[in-house]
Amino acid sequence: MIPFALNELCHLFFPHYCHGCGVGLYDRKLPLCASCLNTLPRTQFAAIPNNPIERIFIGRLNIIAGFSEFYFSKSGLIQALIHQLKYHHNSSIGIFLGNLTGYSLLHSKRFNQFDALIPLPLHTDKMYKRGYNQAEIICTGIAEKTGIPVIKNNVQRIRYTSTQTKKTRIERWENVKDSFVVKNPASLAYKKLILVDDVLTTGATLEACGSVLLKIPGVSLGILTLAYANK
Ligand SMILES: [Zn+2]
């Protein structure tokens, strides 16, 4: 614990501000002030079966639970925070949002039985360019609160897919359907796995990766994202 005076001194030389409203913050680990934290658009449906995330995958992917912690809206605070995580190397934001998601999972009691978190992999080229996989950082934050271990590098993305944003749902599926392989499927057999990503839009990429995991004998699957774009 850093003494208050030292915190003040740090703030003087290395000021740290709330990403929501710009007010000065002493605790460098927090990206938001308490009042901006309270305005984040939480979905609060972790404990509810047949919630909107689970309904997205009906008839597409046989999942046993699904959840997103936040609603995503263009130009909203969650969009700004995820942008910081994805494009500005701000891993502390990913850990912080992962921690909040982890709390919700613990309290929902629907995710306690899972054996491992699987971050949705990036293609090696993209990973090289960005330097990190944001889904792995989110998983680290979730694992800190839930104790569910993270399995990295077993699932691989073998196709470099172009941007999905301007494609229809069918085009998105064509774009990603053969993109994933599991290097060592035997090590995942008979496990309950949660596949984790940053934002859920149509779910095409999660569906493509999840369907590969469900081919492994005995695997049950959950889907989890920080945010859900419902418009
Ligand atoms: Zn604020």
Strand partners, 199: 227
Domain residue limits, the chain = 1-35, 40-228
| Residues with a beta carbon under 5 angstroms from ion ligand 1 | 18, 20-21, 33, 36
* Span 141-179, pLDDT tens digits: 999 999 999 999 999 998 766 666 667 777 777 778 788
Distances (CA, A) of 75 to 36, 65, 81, 83: 15, 29, 10, 10
206 C-alpha vs ligand 1 centroid, how far in Å? Answer: 32
CA of 64 to the centre of ligand 1 (A): 36
Please tell me the least confidently modeled range out of 41-50, 81-90, 152-161, 185-194.
Answer: 152-161
CB 46 within 8 A of CB 105: yes
Closest CA to 140 of 182, 102, 190, 177: 102
127/114 Cα distance (integer angstroms): 27
Candidates 3.30.70, 3.30.530, 3.40.50, 3.90.1720; CATH matching 40-228: 3.40.50
Give the model confidence (pLDDT) of 66-83 as tens digits: 999 999 998 899 999 999
